[in-house]
Amino acid sequence: MLEIKNVSKTFFPHTVNEVAALKNISLKIDEGSFTCIIGTNGSGKSTLLNAVAGSFEPDRGEIILDGNKITKWPEYKRALHIGRVFQNPFAGTAADMTIAENIVLAMRRGRTRNLSRAVTKAVRAEMAERVSMLRMGLETRLDNPIGTLSGGQRQALTLLMATWLKPKLLLLDEHTAALDPKTAAKVADLTRFIIEKDKLTALMVTHSMQQAVDLPDRIVMMHKGSIIADFRDEMKHRVRIPDLMRIFDRVQKRDLFDQSVADMLAVQYL
Ligand SMILES: Nc1ncnc2c1ncn2[C@@H]1O[C@H](COP(=O)(O)OP(=O)(O)O)[C@@H](O)[C@H]1O
Ligand SMILES: [Mg+2]
């Protein structure tokens, strides 16, 4: 379904600020699977999602979606097939526009031409029905500006809009991280509900170990631009939060050790 093949990306190459954000990453994602990506800050999780979405072209490697090599496709072309939700509740929607107007944009995504049709009664009824699935009472507020909604309501709506046209791939980048714990849990539940209902293929970056254990059928762990663990099938069912924490601990200790050795060597050669 999605294949990431030997993808590398270095920011600011050959400068003091050089960052190897992705180091020869390979990952195959099955159709209809739900994968969570976890990892320390700066480990390359967002960069990986951005590489798939086409925010930049990788230095090396290939990205294949549904049999198409999309590595050189521009972002807008990929957006026809890829739905995205970001961390910031203000990012995915237009605050001054109403819920209904925002949904119309989502319905027309990538199909701007020949689609000046008005919102018919039937379309409004469908909007109300699908919005009611969020169980936030928003179906009675279709004509309210999005700006009047809470962060959680906006993220739920953004999720609904990103999946309105059933994208081949759904990319979620810490989309619950800016919400309070209770709202985050609600949006996480909704996420699983929508992914299961529409049988979507999803890649979700999360900072929450709980979500990583509870929601997906696979957990991929990244560290410093590499994939360091991959739990699926039986392993995924068995893995618990302390197991994940232990791996984090281990890599962080190793980094500290590497750093102290580097410092020692630096002192030695001063
Ligand atoms: N557009 C960019 N320009 C320069 N450096 C970037 C850019 N995006 C990410 N980085 C760097 O790449 C590394 C990985 O970042 P990121 O993928 O955002 O990490 P994560 O999402 O895992 O926290 C970090 O060191 C970050 O500073
Ligand atoms: Mg990130």
60: CATH? 3.40.50.300
Ligand 1 atom nearest residue 45's Cα: 22
Measured by CA distance, the residue closest to atom 3 of ligand 1 is 11
Tell me the residue range of the domain where 125 lies.
Answer: 2-239
171 and 63 in one domain?
yes
**How much is the pLDDT for 105?**
86
Question: What stretch of H or E contains 205?
Answer: strand 201-205
Q: How far is the CA of 53 from the centre of ligand 2 (A)?
A: 14
Q: Are residues 175 and 217 in the same domain?
A: yes
For the chain, how many structural domains are there in total?
2
Do 68 and 193 lie in one domain? The reply is: yes
Please tell me whether residues 153 and 172 are part of one structural domain.
yes
Cα–Cα distance between 248 and 212 in angstroms, integer?
Answer: 14
Rounded CA gap, 225 and 35, in Å? 18
Q: In the 8-state DSSP scheme, what is residue 1? A: -
> What pLDDT is attached to residue 257?
82
- 41 within ligand 1 shell (Cβ under 6 A): yes
- Which pTM value belongs to this model? 0.91
Mean pLDDT of 186-194: 95
% of the chain residues with pLDDT over 70: 95
Distance CA 58, CA 182 (A): 37
pLDDT tens per residue, range 78-120: 999 999 999 988 887 888 899 999 999 888 876 655 555 567 8
Ligand 1, residues 7, 11, 205, 255: which to mutate, most atoms within 8 A of Cβ? 11
Q: Could you tell me the two tokens for 46?
A: 């967002």
Overall average pLDDT of the 131-159 stretch: 93
Residues 249 and 119 in one domain: no
**What radius of gyration, in Å, describes the C-alpha atoms of the chain?**
20
* Residues 190 and 265 grouped into a single domain: no
